[in-house]
Amino acid sequence: MPGLTCLPTRQIDNLAMLSQKTRYAIRAMQHLADHYGEGPVQLAMIADEQKIPAKFLTVILSELTRAGLVESQRGRDGGYWLAIPPIDITYGDLIRHMRGSLALVPCASRYAHEKCKNCLEEGACRTRALMLDVRDRTAQILDGIRLSDPIAPVPSFAEDSV
């Protein structure tokens, strides 16, 4: 839009909508989906190929195992694999599991609803109405994409400007 300027660059990770843990979980699940049906995948292989710290990956995979999305086997020939077919896991489900919600604000969450602190009454809050719409559109997109769907990497924005 004419006349609008960007805010100064700031630490983006502080504003991230997805935590590092959630992003690592997505990458680990994508890796397991890529190897679905091939048997156990060793943690070290996932950590190395996906650039995820092994100790953090252990915590993430343990959580995903407890959730029933991943199974594991100990031992020399052990590892991790998807507990259900990748076609049955949506990115929306995965992100909800890791974050608790797709909403950007607690009052717009369908599954983890909380009244916002220092806010207007929910029925009178236009920000909440906007965030509900954003949440619903986000859910529509993420619930329509499955781990089995091909997703091709895209160039970084820095590469676009070259």
Is 125 inside a domain boundary? yes
Is 161 inside a domain boundary? no
Q: Are residues 69 and 101 in the same domain?
A: no
Structural Rg of the chain based on CA atoms:
19
Q: Are residues 105 and 48 in the same domain?
A: no
The letter for the amino acid at 42 is Q
What range does the domain containing 23 cover? Answer: 18-87
What's the rounded Cα separation, in Å, for the pair 85 and 128?
A: 36
Query: What is the pLDDT at residue 162?
Result: 52
Is 3 inside a domain boundary? no
Q: Are residues 76 and 97 in the same domain?
A: no
Q: Are residues 80 and 118 in the same domain?
A: no
Q: Are residues 98 and 72 in the same domain?
A: no
Residue that terminates a domain, selected from 69, 87, 105: 87
Query: What is the pLDDT at residue 9?
Result: 45
Q: Are residues 67 and 99 in the same domain?
A: no
Total domains in the fold of the chain: 2
What's the rounded Cα separation, in Å, for the pair 159 and 162?
A: 5
Query: What is the pLDDT at residue 99?
Result: 84
Query: If you ran DSSP here, which 8-state letter would residue 139 be given?
Result: H
Q: Are residues 100 and 55 in the same domain?
A: no
Percent of the chain scoring above 70 in pLDDT: 88
Q: What is the CATH number of the domain that holds 65?
A: 1.10.10.10
Q: Are residues 67 and 81 in the same domain?
A: yes
Per-residue pLDDT of the chain in tens (162 residues, 90 and over written 9): 555 544 444 444 444 578 899 999 999 999 999 999 999 999 999 999 999 999 999 999 999 999 999 999 998 889 999 999 999 999 999 999 998 888 888 788 877 777 877 777 777 888 888 988 999 999 999 999 999 999 888 888 776 555
Residue that terminates a domain, selected from 72, 87, 102: 87
Q: Are residues 109 and 82 in the same domain?
A: no
The letter for the amino acid at 109 is S
Query: What is the pLDDT at residue 58?
Result: 97
Residue that terminates a domain, selected from 64, 87, 110: 87
The letter for the amino acid at 106 is P
Query: What is the pLDDT at residue 88?
Result: 97
Q: Are residues 118 and 144 in the same domain?
A: yes
Q: Are residues 56 and 116 in the same domain?
A: no
